[in-house]
Structure 1
Amino acid sequence: MSNLEPEDCADYLERIVFLIDNELDEADCSVVRVHLEECAPCLQKYDLERTVKQVVARSCAENAPQGLRDRVLLQLREVQLRITEG
């Protein structure tokens, strides 16, 4: 286990979401996966984010308009930032 500082984890929050959405290249995926193996709090956030996305996907039969999706993603990132900052 490495000695990770909370600010180190902040760098991974957005990339974790992109990893779940398959929006990272393989090199970045590898870096994020290594971090998740070393950092239990980030792994928990990853698991929670993935679970929420799965529940939402099962619950929704139609796609939201892109503008709505963009606003929701922005709000989720703002909440994640507030959680990270403490």
Structure 2
Amino acid sequence: MNQHTHDHDDREPSASECADFLEQIVYFLDNELDTADCAAVRVHLDTCNPCLEKYDLQRTVKSLVARSCSEAAPADLRARVMMRVQQVQVEIREG
């Protein structure tokens, strides 16, 4: 049996390592990381269930937001929102 061990095989990732990878997840989801960073994120997600769960949640939220943004709001809702925005702008100017 080989006595050589890898860091990610014999210990849990530290909180700071997880924090670093969690910062990169948004860029990973948007395909904005270079190949080496993508590979490092994948390895971390394969070995860290808490980070994988957070990644899955971020991916789900991103998917829902993307789907929601592709739908147009009904005209009456749009008009009510725009009227409220104008009211708030007046309140800010007068305040």
Is the TM value for this pair above 0.5? yes
Asked if the contact 2:18–2:51 (Cα under 8 Å) also holds between the matched residues in 1, the reply is: yes
1:50 pairs with 2:59: yes
Aligned-residue Cα RMSD (Å) equals 1.4
Higher relative contact order (CA 8 A, sep 6+): 1
2:18 counterpart (9, 12, 29): 9
Is there any run of 5+ residues in structure 2 with no aligned partner, and where?
Answer: 1-8, 72-95
Task: Count the aligned residue pairs.
Answer: 62
2:32 is matched with which residue?
A: 23
Is there any run of 5+ residues in structure 1 with no aligned partner, and where?
Answer: 63-86
TM-score (norm: length of structure 2): 0.61
Letter in 2 for 1:9: C
TM-score (norm: length of structure 1): 0.67
Greater Rg by CA: 2
| Partner Cα separation in structure 2 for residue 52 and residue 3 of structure 1 | 27
2:87 is matched with which residue?
A: none
